[in-house]
Amino acid sequence: MRIVLDAMGSDTCPEPEVAAAVEAARLFGEEIILVGPAEELKARLQSTGTNSASVRLVDATDTISMSDKGMALALKAKRRNSKTSMAVGIDLLKSGEADAFVTAGNTGGAMATAYFRLETIPGVERAGLTATFPVKNGLCIVLDIGANPDCKPEHIVQFAIMGSVYANKTRAIEKPRVAILSNAEEAGKGNELVRDTFPLLVKSGLNFIGNVEGKELFAGEVDVVVTDGFTGNVLLKSTEAVAKFIMDIMKEQLKSNLISMIGGALAKPSLTKIKAMLNPDEYGAAPLLGVNGLVFIAHGRSNAHALVSAIKAARASVEANLLGSIQSAIQDSIQKSQLEVLV
């Protein structure tokens, strides 16, 4: 198994990437391919002093930065001879030289590069970006959290199929409970998109449990929640923001008087544990499901530890044959709907 790590992704790259590549190669005993400016990376690798024989360097002279956008970004993503670390890394997937690609770089850049160079899995109309939410007694996969601000019902159904396969393959849930995010639990409630998608999910063959609200999501009553990329992005960012808001006022309040300060100090290990639970980095990276290759996107703030988690998540997906399983599930659903048209 060979996993490609974009050396030029994270906010403080390439330092965390070099450290993560060395650590992951040691930990998992797999070859890690580090893509970026080879000379610089070589020097950094040597300075780690560790035996980095299983970290292979592939040269990429250009990068996509966090500020790249619009047409300039599209060109960097699309051009055949693009030398960005993302383009070079993803080309290694396409040529079969590697099994998964991990980056902590510009999300839009990674999506565009993956779309242009790998295209979508045959039959998939839109790739969906996933996020893994910490919830009561477990985790919940949500997609799309931003790749497609406007969706059609058919896109949402494909997100549901792909999310269900992902939960099944990487978290060993036999029949993942799938739900659609709505403004009310009752069937028939929702906006036009939800109302139109609901009946398609009912007959999808998935373990579809209906509409859910934030309440059920965070109570751990569902394994996969599907929604359009606009609503999913609002969900992700607003819940992250409110969690930060609460932790901030807690910090402030615990400093407000001596007794609270002592209490806060005593409770600190517990509070730190909560912070870790709420930290998305703990859950590795999120795959872009639907492109024809395994592409994982980690947070820009990722440190070496978070990148090792990301590589671990990518590795588990390769081992579970996530890509092949999604390809099959999509083909099955297409055949099923063709049969329905015939009958």
For the CB of residue 301, give the shortest distance to a second copy in the complex, in Å.
Answer: 14
- Pick from 47, 81, 95, 270: which binds a second copy (CB under 8 A)? 270
192 binds a second copy (CB under 8 A): yes
Q: DSSP state, 62?
A: B
Q: DSSP state, 341?
A: H
- Judged by CB under 8 A, the stretch of 83-91, 117-125, 165-173, 217-225 that binds a second copy is 217-225
For the CB of residue 102, give the shortest distance to a second copy in the complex, in Å.
Answer: 24
CB 154 within 8 A of CB 200: yes
For the CB of residue 204, give the shortest distance to a second copy in the complex, in Å.
Answer: 22
For the CB of residue 307, give the shortest distance to a second copy in the complex, in Å.
Answer: 24
Query: Which element (helix H / strand E) includes 12?
Result: none
For residue 59, say if its preceding peptide bond is cis, omega within 30 degrees of 0.
Answer: no
Q: Which residues of 229-261 are buried (b: 16+ CB within 10 A; e: fewer)?
A: bbbbbebbeebeeebeeeeeeeeeebeeeeeee
Q: Which residues, at least 6 apart from 297, have a Cβ–Cβ distance to it below 8 Å?
A: 103, 104, 105, 107, 110, 111, 129, 285, 286, 287, 288
For the CB of residue 194, give the shortest distance to a second copy in the complex, in Å.
Answer: 8
- Pick from 15, 273, 331, 338: which binds a second copy (CB under 8 A)? 273
CA distance 296 to 86: 12
Smaller CB separation from a second copy, 200 or 250: 250
112 binds a second copy (CB under 8 A): no
Helix/strand/coil for 8: coil
67 binds a second copy (CB under 8 A): no
Task: Report how many residues bind a second copy under the rule CB under 8 A.
Answer: 61
- Judged by CB under 8 A, the stretch of 27-35, 97-105, 239-247, 334-342 that binds a second copy is 239-247
Residue ranges in contact with a second copy by CB under 8 A: 135-136, 146, 149-150, 181-184, 189-192, 194, 213-215, 217-219, 228-231, 233-235, 237-250, 253-254, 256-257, 259-260, 262-271, 273-274, 277-278
